Chains A and B, each alone.
Chain A
C-alpha cells in the first residue's frame, strides 16, 4: 500500500485538490469487502479491487461497484450529480 508520503508526492505532481488516502493496514478495504486474495506461485497476496463508492450525507451507500466496471467513473459521477441535484432542490 502506498504511504502518505508517496501519495503526497503524487498529489503534488498532478495537482490533486482532494484528499488522497492511504489504507496501509487495509482496515477500510476489509470493511468494504474490496480486499481480495490472489494466489500465485504458491503464495497469497492481497490487493484491492478497483472500486467506486458514493456515500450520501447521511452515510448511506448510494452506489457501489468493483472490478472492471469501476475503471470508468462516469456511472458514479452521474449518481453523485443526481444526488446533489435532489438535495439542492429540496
Chain B
C-alpha cells in the first residue's frame, strides 16, 4: 500500500471558465497537506474541451490534474459528472476531497458521496487536520449559524467536504506551474443521460452581480422601509465602485432579487468594506459577513445585533445618514471636504 495521501479538489468550471472557489480550495488543500505526512494536492477537472484549465490549477498548487474530457460533459448535469468522478475516486482512493459549496458543487458532492458511500460535510467554514487522529476536522455552522459543529469522518474514505466561496482566502497564483495531466474516460454516452438542458435563461444583466467577489458592498434590510430605499444604496455603491446586497427579509418581501441575498441561506461575502444599512443583523445574516475587512453598520435601533459585529456603528436614521455619507464622499473627491479636515 502506498503512503501517498491524495487531497483532491474539484476544479469547478462552467462554459470553460474555472470558478474561483476552486483556487480557494487548492489553497486550503496545501495548508492541510502541510499537516498530513505524505499528502499531495491534486485537481479533478471535468468538461468538454477544458484541458486548458489544468494549467491554471498547477499555478494554484495542484501537482496533478485528473481530466475527464467528453462532449457529454459540455453542460453540467448531475448524473454524468457524479458517475465520472465516483469512478475516479474508486480508482485512485483520495484521502480527502474538497468541493466548492456552489449550486453545482453541492448538487454534485452529495451524489458522489452517496455513490462511494462516504461522509460529506456541507458548507464548511474551517478545515483542519486533527493533530491526534490525522483526519480532517471540518467545521460548519448549523442551526442557522447558532452553533458550530466540527465533523469527523472516521473510517470511510475519502473524507469529503464542501466549502462556500469566499469563506477561505484566495491564494496568489505562481507565475508558472507545471503538473501531470491524467486523462480518464467517462464511460457514458448521451443516451445514458435522462436529463437534457433545453436552454438557459440568463439572469437579467441588471441582476448579474458578482456579490461574492465584490470589494465594497452596500447592503440593505427591512430598515429601508420600502423597496425604493435601494436607490439610495445603489447611489452609494456606485460611488464606491461596489455592489448592492440585501438581507433575507427584504429578498423574501420581494424588494430585490435573490442574487443579492447575503447570509446563511444566501451568499457569503468578504469585501474590504461592508456597509449595512437598516439590517438588524440576525445570526443568519451575520455568519455571511464576518469575513469582511471592515463593517460599517447604520441602524436606528442601538440594540440591533448588527452592531455586535460592526467595526463602527452609527445609530441613526439611514435616510439622514446615507445622503450625508454620499455628500461627504463627493465633497472629499472634489478636493474640499469636511472629511479631509477630519482626516488630517
Bound together: no
List the interface of chain A (C-beta within 8 A of B): none
List the interface of chain B (C-beta within 8 A of A): none
